[in-house]
Each structure stands twice: as structure tokens, then as C-alpha cells.
Amino acid sequence: MKLTYAAASPFVRKVMVVLEEANQSDAVELIDGFGSPVAPNDNAVAANPLGKIPCLVLNDGTSLYDSRVITRYLDEHFALSLYPVDESRWATLTLEAHADALLEAAVLCVYEHRCRDEDDRSSAWLEAQQGKIERALDAIENQWMPYLQGDMTIAHIGVACAMEYLEFRQEMGGWPAWRETHPKLDAWSKVFAARPSMKATIPTV
């Protein structure tokens, strides 16, 4: 299998954490897919017509894209059981989507700074995305901590990757620091970040 990736992408990191949890990081060949919305990478476009990463190309040439599709495939392929099959699956899928939406807002903030000249940036757009981030964090702190104290699922990985991305790109994205205002989430995140799969996938610039 081949994975089109960029080292700093939090969505790529979700996939890499799943591979590490399965002890299968060597099962994929990494293909550079680093680009931007205005200048997509040729490798990324070749694997996925949308030019987005991550994209997992299977041995038969089939392309799987969107991190949630890829992680679900890897979960079944390596029998990890990160996606519950009982009624708790709805909470898992909702929190996974919640963490992804938080990340999408954060990535849009980063793109606004990276892809636009300073005079062309929209303060209203940035404030709207930062508002989504803040509300998402508040919801995890106030509603989702009991879930996060349970057995690990894909939602735990998604939240952990989102929290570390917020710290990794805070200066570039411009959102407020979150740890002091969300102490329960801060404590949980520090414990989860100590997992070998998280340490092995720390993002780089």
C-alpha cells in the first residue's frame, strides 16, 4: 500500500497513529503529497482527483481518501476494533466527526495565513473559524470527558491529534491557547500523548 501524505497534516497523523497502533507502519510506502489549496501536489492529484491528503492507494490500485475512510479500512484490515459495533458506535462516530470538524476549522485558519497576503486576509473569516474551535473545545471539556475515559476508539485518536495540532500550529493559526481554559481535556491529552503511537507520529514542519 502507498500513502500520499504530508508530515504536518493532522489528518495524515490520524492514519499514521492507527498504523502504529496496529504495528503496521512498515506496511505502507509514504509518498510526498505536500501542497496547498492553490498549488496541489502532483502526487496527491495522481492518487486522488481532489488533490487532498491523506490518500491510501491499495495494492490493486484502488484509492481510498478522506482520513475517516482510510482509518475505517485499516481498522477492519488489521482487526483493531477501534470502531464499536454496539450502540456506542454512534457516540464514537459523532466524536470522531466533531474532532475532524475542529481540525478543519483550524486548517482553514492556517490556510488563510499561509495562502493569502496579509492585506487580503478576512478577519471575519478567521474569527468564525476560531469560534468553531472554541465551541468544539468547550463541548469536549463539558460533555465528552466521560467518553474519553473509556476504552480507546478512533474518536480518542481523533481528539488527541486535534489537540496536538492546535498546539503545533497555534502561532500560525492565531487561535487562543486552550490548555489552561480546558483543564480536564489538558490532563487527558497529556496522558494520551504519552502513547508510543503518538510519540512516533509527532508532526514536523
Indicate the pTM of the whole model. 0.94
pLDDT in tens, 107-146: 999 988 887 888 888 999 999 999 999 999 999 999 999 9
Kindly give, in sequence order, each residue whose CB lies less than 8 Å from that of residue 147, ignoring residues fewer than 6 positions away.
91, 95, 155
Q: Which is nearest to 3 in space by CA: 82, 59, 50?
A: 59
pLDDT in tens, 49-107: 999 999 999 999 999 999 999 999 999 999 999 999 999 999 999 999 999 999 999 99
Helix (H, G, I), strand (E, B) or coil at 140: helix
Give the helix ranges, DSSP H, for the chain. 10-21, 42-47, 67-77, 89-115, 123-139, 145-148, 154-168, 170-173, 183-192, 196-199
Strands 29-32 and 2-5: parallel
Q: Which domains does the chain have, with CATH numbers?
A: 2-77 (3.40.30.10), 89-195 (1.20.1050.10)
